[in-house]
Amino acid sequence: MAYKRGALIVLEGVDRAGKTTQCKKLVDALSQCGHFAELLRFPERTTEVGQLVGSYLEKRINLEDHTVHLLFSANRWEHVPLIKDKLNNGITLVVDRYAFSGVAFTSAKEKFSLEWCKQPDVGLPKPDLILFLQLNPMEATKRGDFGNERYENSSFQERVLHRFFQLMEDETLNWKVVDASKNIEDLHKEIRSLSEDAIQEAQDKPLGELWTEE
Ligand SMILES: Nc1ncnc2c1ncn2[C@@H]1O[C@H](COP(=O)(O)OP(=O)(O)OP(=O)(O)O)[C@@H](O)[C@H]1O
Ligand SMILES: [Mg+2]
């Protein structure tokens, strides 16, 4: 079969775990060894929906909590045609945050269940690999103070982390937890090796759907 699709690789983790640093290094390394690889991030603030989300995060506007959750999800859905197109053309996508951040952050707020938060993202392209960059809050603090965006405070981040652990209990997903306290190069090598394996495995398998019964 000539069908060789790209892999959907997602990096998740608490704030300052090193996601953006590692996403960029991974795309560069994969490209250099002959893979087609591209970077994507959520929220993607360049679309109209993304601009609303960006304004909310930068505290320039306030939005009702359910509304903003649905906007974060819409921002992923509006990129689904592009994601499928790239993967079908053999391009591996390295994604800086995805539905898991969306669910972990909203469900860390009062009165939001994990189940309710997952619903809008049910059926999104299912990642072939989700790398969770694990870093304890003390280590994260050493990497600089929180910025001024919404959600950037340590008690909220603790609640987010707890929700991530609940999401990781789902064995239908290929979660790999990596120790983000390692130095940038060592962590990169580990992430690269896990990604190479995922690319090999994904190429002959159809793309799945997130959080649907299989
Ligand atoms: N393994 C590492 N060891 C020490 N410092 C690191 C490591 N990885 C990244 N950093 C530094 O920590 C800071 C945060 O890194 P980065 O922006 O990649 O994290 P992030 O997970 O994308 O954060 P955010 O959630 O805020 O987007 C940067 O200053 C970066 O240079
Ligand atoms: Mg980042």
Q: Give the CATH number of the domain where residue 148 resides.
A: 3.40.50.300
Q: pLDDT tens across 125-152, in order?
A: 999 999 999 998 778 878 877 777 888 8
Domain annotation covers residue 21: yes
Domain annotation covers residue 168: yes
Residue 1's pLDDT is 46
The ligand minimizing its distance to the Cα of 134 is 1
Residue 14's pLDDT is 86
d(CA 121, CA 102): 9
Q: Whose CA is nearest to atom 14 of ligand 1?
A: 16
Distance 119 CA to ligand 2 centre (A): 25
Residue to mutate, 16, 41, 148, 182, ligand 1, most ligand atoms under 8 Å from C-beta: 16
Q: pLDDT tens across 37-53, in order?
A: 999 999 999 999 999 99
d(CA 94, CA 160): 22
Domain tally, the chain: 1
Here the tokens at position 156 are 């909220």
Query: Does the N-terminal peptide bond of residue 206 adopt cis geometry, omega within 30 degrees of 0?
Result: no
This prediction has a pTM of 0.96
| DSSP string computed for 67-93 | HHHHHHHHHHHTTHHHHHHHHHTT-EE
Instruction: Find the domain containing 38 and state its range.
Output: 8-205
Domain annotation covers residue 1: no
User: In degrees rounded to 5, what are phi and psi of residue 78?
Assistant: -70, -15
d(CA 152, CA 145): 9
